Chains A and B, each alone.
Chain A
Amino acid sequence: MMKFRFKRQGNDTQREKAKQDVFAFNKQTVEHGFPSQPSALAYDPILRLMAIGTKSGAVKIYGSPGVEFGGRHVPGGAVTQMHFLLGQGRLLCLLDKNTLHLWEISPGDKGSSLDKTLSITLPGRPGVEGVRASRVTTLLPTRRCDLLCMGTEGGAVRTLALPSLAALEARMLLQDQVLQRRVSGVPDEYKCGRSLGPVESLQEHPRYPGKILIGYSRGLVVLWDLNTWQLDALFLGNQSLESLSWERSGRNFVSSHSNGSYVLWAVGGSRCPPVCRPMSCTRPYGPSPCKAISKILWRTSESGIPLVLFSGGMSRASYGDRHCLTVTQGDTQVALDFTSRIIDFFTVHHTEDGDRFDDPTALVVLLEEELIAFDLQTTGWPVIPSPYLASLHSSAITCSYHVSNVPRELWQRVAAAGRLQSPSQTAAKWPISGGNSFASAPKQKDLLLTGHEDGTVRFWDASGMSLTPLYKLSTASVFQTDGDHSNSSAQEEEWPPFRKVGLFDPYSDDPRLGVQKISLCKYSGRLVLAGTAGQVLVMCLNEEWSDHVISSSVIDLLQDRKGFTWKGHDQLDPKAGRIRFMPGFQPVVLVQCIPPASITTVALHAEWNLVAFGTSHGFGLFDYHFRCPVLARCTLHPMDTIAMEGPLSRIKSLKKSLHQSFRRIRKSRLCGQSRLLVQGLAGKESSKQLGEQGDSRDADVAPVQRRIEARSAEDSLSGVVRCLCFADTYLRDAAQHGPTLWAGTNAGCVFAYALKVPLRSGSWGGAVEAILSKEIQLTHRAPVVGVAVLDGQGNPLPEPYQASWDLATSLDVQASHSVLIASEEQIKVFSLPKITMKAKLKLTANEGCRIRKVALVSLAGSHALLCLTNLGDVQAFSVPGLRPQGRENCIHREDVSGMASCVFTKTGQGFYLISPSEFERFSLSKCQVSSSLCSVEVQRNSQTAVPSTPPWRSGTPSASSTGGPPSLGGQDGVRISPGFSCGDIVMDTTGDLTVEDVKDFLASVDEMENNLRNRSTNDWHSAGILINGTVWNVL
C-alpha cells in the first residue's frame, strides 16, 4: 500500500496528518470481469481450485465465490499450459517462450496469496532453428507430484524433479528407446522417416502411478513405465493424434484424432509387450471430412453408460466454423454451440480411489470470451450461473455508472426483477468450491450499471469483491430495428443436435441502440438511459407486467439554425402501439433529439420530474411528468460545420483523404526511406484535440510535431455539451434559492438557467419554465468537464430526495453557495450568485496535463475533488479551497480507453476497463478498500518443500572426462542418482545402435551436448540455464 507523496504546503502538520488518515492509494484492489484473451486452464480436484492463464501472462486462481488470487508473469508471455500439483497449492505454468514457472499459494496474515517461487528457462526457444526439437509440447506432473514429464517437439520425453524443477537428464525418454529396444513390437511403417512426431499427449495411468501413456503425433501410443523404465504396451494408431484420455479403471483409454474420429483402446494383452489394435473407432459427425477432435474426456457413470465429451470434430464443410463441444451419453447427444473459441474444458468428478465411478457433476468450459459451467447431473445439462468471471463485454461496453449505498428497497426490487428474468434451471451449486472467503459482508450495497452497444444495461452487484449480475435491461424492444428477425434456429436441422450457449454476442443489431449515458435516482427508482441516436428513455420500476404505449416526443436542438444539414445516422423509429414489458424497469417516456447525434451528457432530477440531456448540437430540458419539452438550446458555433454534418460526413472524409494524399506525396518527396508510424500513436489523443488538420498532419509526417494555437470559437465540435447538472441554489439573488440547471460546453461556456418548478402537490400545477440567467465564458475556452454546486461548507449539495430520505443531510440554507467549474485545463470555484472567483487551479498551464474526468467524492467524511488527467494520474484536491491533497499514477498513460471508461464512486473508489472485458477497481480512500480476503488450506509435507539447493549439486562434474554420444547418458547419470544405475542406460542406448540412428540421436540431443560443452569449458555456475534459474529463484 502506497502512501501519497504529498506536496509541501506550508508546515501544517495537523493537516498533513489528516490527509494521511484519509488518503491511501491502492492501485489494484480487485479485477472484475473476464480475463482478456485466456489461453490455458487448469483444475485441482483435491483443492477444488481452477486456474486461468492468459496471453498476456496473467494467472488467476478461483475457488468458491470470493476466493480469488492473481499473479502475473514478468515479463509477460502467453501461458500455454497450466497444471496444478494436486493438493499442494502449487501451479506450474508453461509460457510460449519455453519458460516454466512454479506458483505457490502461500498463507499470510491477510489471507493467502499467490507468489511465484521458481522460474526456469527450458533449453530451446521456439523459432530458433535447430533447437525446435526441444520445445515443450505437453506437460504432465505425476499424481504423486514428484516428477514432471515434458513431451517435446522432437518426440523426447524429459523429466524434471518436482517441486525443485531440477532436470533429471538421465531420465529422458527418446524415441529411439521406444523404437529400438523392442524392435519386434513396432511395425516398420512407424520407423520410416525420422521420428514418430512430437509428443502430443501424456497421461498417467489412473491405477498405477508411474505408468504414463505417451501419444505421438503420428498416431503411435505407448504405455511406458517410469519406474522400471520399460515399455509396457504399444498401441498402433494410424491417424494423427490430438489427445488421449484414460478411462477410470485403467483398462481402457480413448484417443482423439485430427480427422474427427475417436478411438477406444483396451489395455492389456498376452504378448509381451502387448501390441494393441483399436477396439472401436467412431467418427461422430462423419462420413464427410471432419475437423479434428482437439480434446476428449471419457467419464464413467453409475448408470454404466459412459459420458464422452469432446471439442471439435464437426463436419468441415458445413459446420467447420462453429465452436462446438459435444457431450454424449448413450443416445443423448448435445453439441454445445458456443459463440467464441473453446480454450479448454474439464469435468468436476469423483477422484478418490474409493469411488467406483467418475460420476461427473459438472462440466466447465473456458471459452475465449466467457466461462460456462454445466450441471451434468440434471437432465438437459443446464447452465450453472457463475458467481464470478462475468462476461462484462457480452456486448461492447459503451458506458458505466456507479451508484453507492443503494437503499435496501430499491436493491430488493432490482434483485427480484433479475431473478424473475433468469429463473434458475438448476439447483446445483457452483462446482468449484475450494478455499474459504472470509471477507466480511459488505456494509452497503453498491450498484454498477454498464451500458452496452446493443442497447442493454446490465446491473451488477459491486458491493463485494466480485461483480455479479443482478438484472439486465434491454431498450431494443422500444424501437423498430433491422434485427427484428424471426428465430432462425427453428430452421436448423436435427443433426448435429446444436444447442446455443453463452452470452457473448459481439454483433450488435443496430449500433444506434447503444447506451451512452445512464442516470439513476436511487431513492425514487427513476432511470434515464440515453443513446447513440439521440434517444432519451425515462424508466420507472414496476413490479407488474405492463402493456402500455410509450409517450414519445421530439426536441429540435438546432431550433431555427439555418444552413446546416445532418449527414449522420437517422433517428430510431419507435414502435407504435402497446408494448409488453416485463416486471422491472419499464420505459415510460421517450424523447428523441433532432439531429439524432449521440447524447453526450444527461442529468436527472426525480424530485422535479425533469431530465436534461445534451448532444454535440445543444441541450434540452424535458418535463417527464407533464411529458412536455421545457427548453431547447443550440450551442453550435456558426462556423462549426463538422458537428452539423454528423460523424459520417462525406465532406469531412473527402477533405481528410485529400489532406492525407497530399501529405503522402510530399512525404515521399521529402524522405525516401520508410518510417514507422508508431510515434504518432502516443500523441494521437492530444492531436485529436487540435482539430482535424493537425491530426492528419501529425499522423503522417515524422518527426511528430504539434501545432501551438490558442483555442478559438471556431474549433470543431465546440458546441458539444459536456456536462449538465441540477441544483437548488442562489442563482439570481442571495436571498432566494431555487431550482437551477447548469450546462457546460466544449467551448468553455457555462449556461445557468433559473427554473420555475411548480409544486406538484399544490393547487397550482403550472408548467416548468427555464430562464437563462447567466452565461459564463471561460477565457481559456477549454471544454467544461464538470459543474457542481457546493453549499456553505463546501460540500456538494444533496441529491434529489436525499434530504427527505436522510435527515442528516438537510439542505444547507446559508446563502453562501458556490459553483465549481472544472474545465479540461483549470478548476475554478465561483461564489453565487455574484460569480466572483474564490479559488482557481491552473492544472494544464503548470503541469501540462489535461483533466479527463472529475468527481466530488467523500473520503472519510471530508469531501475532495478527484481528477483523472490524460497522463493517467488521479489527483485529489480539497474543496472549495482546491488545494492539492495527493496525486497518484493510476492508469497507464497510453491507455486511452481505460481513461475514457473510468468512473469514480462517491466513496473514493474507481473502476476502469483494463481490457474490453475487465474492470479494475482502485481506491483512494483509506477506509474503502475492496480486496480479496480468502485462504486456501494447503498441506505440504516437508519432503515436497522446494529445496534450497538442487540435489545434484553435491555430485562431481566428472562428465568432462568423457565425450561422444554413447557416454552422454552416463555423464548425466552421475548427476542424478536415485534408483537408477547409469550403466543400464548406457548399455541400453548403445546396444542396438545403427549408424543412422546415431545421426538421429545426435541431431536430437544437439542442444544438450552444447550445454555439456559449455559446462566443461566455462564456469560451473553458468553451466545450464536450468541450474541458474533454480538457484536464483530459491535464494
Chain B
Amino acid sequence: MNRSFIKSQSLRYLDCNAVEVKSKYGAEFRRFSVDRQKPGKFDEFYKLILHIHRIANMEVMIGYADVHGDLLPINNDDNFCKAVTSAHPLLRIFIQRQEEVDYSNFGTNTMTRRKKAVVTLRNDVNRKRPQIRIGMPQDFRPVSSIIDVDILPESHRRVRLYRHGSDRPLGFYIRDGTSVRVTPHGLEKVPGIFISRMVPGGLAESTGLLAVNDEVLEVNGIEVTGKTLDQVTDMMIANSHNLIVTVKPVNQRNNVVRSSRSSGQSTDSSGSAGYPAPPPGSLGAHGLAGDELESDEESDIVIESSIKRPSRRSNASATSRSQALQPAPATASPSTPKRPPSLISTASFHSQPSLNGVPHASPSFRLHRDHGSSPAFRESNGSLHKILNAMRIDPRHSLALPPGGVEEDGTVITL
C-alpha cells in the first residue's frame, strides 16, 4: 500500500499530464498510463485494454470507479474522457466479459458496498439481495405523466396512463361515494366516483400518481358527474389504451406548486421527465409508440391473407391457411424471449422506488406461455391470435414480421 502510494506520487510528479491506470480483469492487474489532456478515442482505449490483458475474440465491458466510489461504465468517448479527467489519483478500471455484465452493479454506492464485501465479485452480491433489473435507456418508455397543469385547478391532477400495449394491468378499481362540494348554498354532498383499490404491481400503483380515495372527476375530458359507476367503468375501459383521468387527490400535499414550475421539469405536459431521447437505433419502435402518444387513435389491424392457393373444402382451406401463416408464428414466438428482460421501466414524475414492481418472473412466464401455445400453432389452423398478441405486447415485433404469411404492404395498416 505504502509502496504504491509512493510510486503513484512519484509518477504524478514525473508527469502530471499522465494518469495512472490500474486495470483489473478477473484476478489480473495491469498498470499503465494515459494522457490526461488527450486521452484519445474510446475505440483506441478499448483496443489497448484488450491488448494489455491479451483478451481476444471476446466482447468486454469496461467500467471504472469514480471519485465517489461508484462503478460507472466506459463505453463511449464521452464517458472515457470523463473517466480520465476525473481520475484522482489513479483510474481504476474493471473489465468484465460482456455476457457476464451485471448492470445492477453499476450505479450509486456500488463500489463502496463492494469494498465492504471484500472484492467479492458480482455473483455473491447477487445472491444476497433481490435483483433489480433496469433496462437500457433505449428501452425506457413513459408509463404516466401529469398533464395540463397550467389549466387545471391546483387541487386537481390530470394523469395520463400509457399502456403501450403491454400486458401489465392498469390495476385499479373504482367505486361510488359522496364528495362534498362548495356551492353558493354552502357545502353540499354530491355523489361521486372514487378510486377504491390499487392492484399491487399494476400500472396505476407504480406511477404513484393515483391513490385510493382519489375522486375521479373526468375521464378523457368527459365529466363523470351524473354518470353511473357502470358508465364510468365502461368509459375507462373504452379509453384504456390511452387513459386520461382527472382526479382530485385525497392527499393534497403533493400537489404541484405553480411557482416552482420553472425549476421542475415535472410540469412539462409531454411528460418528458425521465424520458430520454431514444437512441437512434431504436427509433423504429419509438416511432410507433410516438404515434400512439400524439393521437389517441387506436389502429385496427388488418391482415390480408395471401390468396395464392385457393383451397377446397374445409380441411383444405384450413391447411392452406396454416401454411400461409406458418412463418409468422415461427419468427414471432422465438423472438419473444429475446426481448430485453425488463421491458417496462418506470419513468414517472415521482420516480418512485416502484422498480420493484417489475415482476422478476415475468420473462419466464412469457416463455412458458409461448411454449405452451406453440404446439397448438403448429398443428392448428393458424390462429392469428398469437401474432396479434405478440404485436400487442411489443409493437416492434409487428414490424419484424417477415413477408410471406403476411403481405408486406397490407401488414399493418394504421387506420
**A residues at B contact (CB < 8 Å):** 555, 559-563, 620, 628-634, 636-639, 682-683, 685-686, 690, 703-713, 732, 747, 754, 756, 767, 769-780, 782, 825-826, 828, 830, 835-837, 842, 844-850, 870-871
Q: Interface SS of chain B: helix, strand, loop or mixed?
A: mixed
Other-chain contact of B239, A562, A632, A712, A845 (Cβ < 8 Å)? A845
| Bound CA span A244–B222, Å | 67
User: Is there contact, CB below 8 Å, between A705 and B175?
Assistant: yes
User: Is there contact, CB below 8 Å, between B302 and A774?
Assistant: yes
Which residues of chain B (216-243) have a CB below 8 Å from chain A?
Answer: 220, 222, 227-241, 243
In the complex, what's the smallest C-beta–C-beta distance from B145 to chain A, in angstroms?
A: 18
User: Is there contact, CB below 8 Å, between A704 and B176?
Assistant: yes
The interface on chain B, measured as residues whose beta carbon lies within 8 A of the other chain's beta carbons, has a size of 66
Interfacial chain A residues near B321, Cβ < 8 Å: 772
In the complex, what's the smallest C-beta–C-beta distance from B391 to chain A, in angstroms?
A: 9
Interfacial chain B residues near A776, Cβ < 8 Å: 300-303
User: Is there contact, CB below 8 Å, between B300 and A706?
Assistant: no
Which residues of chain B (149-197) have a CB below 8 Å from chain A?
Answer: 163, 167, 169-177, 196-197
Task: Tell me if B313 counts as interface (CB < 8 A to partner A).
Answer: yes
Task: Tell me if B256 counts as interface (CB < 8 A to partner A).
Answer: no
User: Is there contact, CB below 8 Å, between B230 and A686?
Assistant: yes
Other-chain contact of A769, B243, B298, B300, B311 (Cβ < 8 Å)? B311
Other-chain contact of A847, B167, B231, B310, B381 (Cβ < 8 Å)? B231
Interfacial chain A residues near B303, Cβ < 8 Å: 774-777
Return the 9 tightest CB-CB contacts between A and B, nearest first. A848-B231, A779-B298, A710-B240, A844-B238, A706-B233, A845-B238, A705-B175, A848-B235, A705-B196
Task: Tell me if B351 counts as interface (CB < 8 A to partner A).
Answer: no
Task: Tell me if B379 counts as interface (CB < 8 A to partner A).
Answer: yes
Interfacial chain A residues near B314, Cβ < 8 Å: 555, 620, 629-632
User: Is there contact, CB below 8 Å, between B376 and A709?
Assistant: no
User: Is there contact, CB below 8 Å, between B302 and A769?
Assistant: no
User: Is there contact, CB below 8 Å, between A713 and B301?
Assistant: no
User: Is there contact, CB below 8 Å, between A708 and B172?
Assistant: yes
User: Is there contact, CB below 8 Å, between B415 and A770?
Assistant: no
| Bound CA span A6–B204, Å | 39
Other-chain contact of A713, B220, B311, B380, B392 (Cβ < 8 Å)? B392
Interfacial chain B residues near A870, Cβ < 8 Å: 230, 234
Other-chain contact of B220, A703, A830, A845 (Cβ < 8 Å)? A845
Other-chain contact of A767, B196, B299, B313, B379 (Cβ < 8 Å)? B313
Interfacial chain B residues near A754, Cβ < 8 Å: 307
Known A-B contacts A754-B307, A769-B317, A773-B304; the reply to A848 vs B173 at CB < 8 A is no
User: Is there contact, CB below 8 Å, between B305 and A773?
Assistant: yes
Closest B residue, CB atoms, query A753:
B317
Interfacial chain A residues near B318, Cβ < 8 Å: 559, 632-633
User: Is there contact, CB below 8 Å, between A634 and B311?
Assistant: no
User: Is there contact, CB below 8 Å, between A708 and B174?
Assistant: yes
Number of A-B contacts (CB under 8 A): 190
Task: Tell me if B9 counts as interface (CB < 8 A to partner A).
Answer: no
Task: Tell me if B389 counts as interface (CB < 8 A to partner A).
Answer: yes
User: Is there contact, CB below 8 Å, between A703 and B231?
Assistant: no
User: Is there contact, CB below 8 Å, between A713 and B175?
Assistant: no
Interfacial chain A residues near B233, Cβ < 8 Å: 686, 690, 706-708, 848
Interfacial chain A residues near B280, Cβ < 8 Å: none
| Bound CA span A259–B143, Å | 80
User: Is there contact, CB below 8 Å, between A633 and B381?
Assistant: yes
Interfacial chain B residues near A712, Cβ < 8 Å: 167
In the complex, what's the smallest C-beta–C-beta distance from B389 to chain A, in angstroms?
A: 6
Known A-B contacts A559-B380, A848-B231; the reply to A708 vs B388 at CB < 8 A is no
User: Is there contact, CB below 8 Å, between A706 and B175?
Assistant: yes
Closest B residue, CB atoms, query A837:
B415
What are 11 A-B pairs with beta-carbon distances under 8 A? A559-B380, A707-B233, A708-B170, A708-B233, A709-B169, A711-B237, A773-B305, A773-B307, A779-B298, A828-B300, A847-B235
Other-chain contact of B317, A555, A631, A825 (Cβ < 8 Å)? A631
Task: Tell me if B385 counts as interface (CB < 8 A to partner A).
Answer: yes
Interfacial chain A residues near B279, Cβ < 8 Å: none
User: Is there contact, CB below 8 Å, between A779 and B177?
Assistant: no
In the complex, what's the smallest C-beta–C-beta distance from A715 to chain B, in angstroms?
A: 11
| Bound CA span A563–B300, Å | 31
In the complex, what's the smallest C-beta–C-beta distance from A745 to chain B, in angstroms?
A: 10
In the complex, what's the smallest C-beta–C-beta distance from A688 to chain B, in angstroms?
A: 11
User: Is there contact, CB below 8 Å, between B376 and A638?
Assistant: yes
Other-chain contact of B231, A732, A777, A871 (Cβ < 8 Å)? A871
Task: Tell me if B130 counts as interface (CB < 8 A to partner A).
Answer: no
In the complex, what's the smallest C-beta–C-beta distance from A395 to chain B, in angstroms?
A: 33
Most A CB contacts (10 A, CB to CB) among B233, B241, B381 go to B233
User: Is there contact, CB below 8 Å, between A708 and B373?
Assistant: no
Most A CB contacts (10 A, CB to CB) among B241, B300, B304 go to B300
User: Is there contact, CB below 8 Å, between A703 and B196?
Assistant: yes
Closest B residue, CB atoms, query A685:
B230
User: Is there contact, CB below 8 Å, between B170 and A683?
Assistant: no
Other-chain contact of A782, B169, B238, B388 (Cβ < 8 Å)? B238
Task: Tell me if B383 counts as interface (CB < 8 A to partner A).
Answer: yes
Other-chain contact of A563, B173, B237, B376, B385 (Cβ < 8 Å)? B376
| Bound CA span A870–B314, Å | 38
Interfacial chain A residues near B3, Cβ < 8 Å: none
| Bound CA span A530–B201, Å | 46
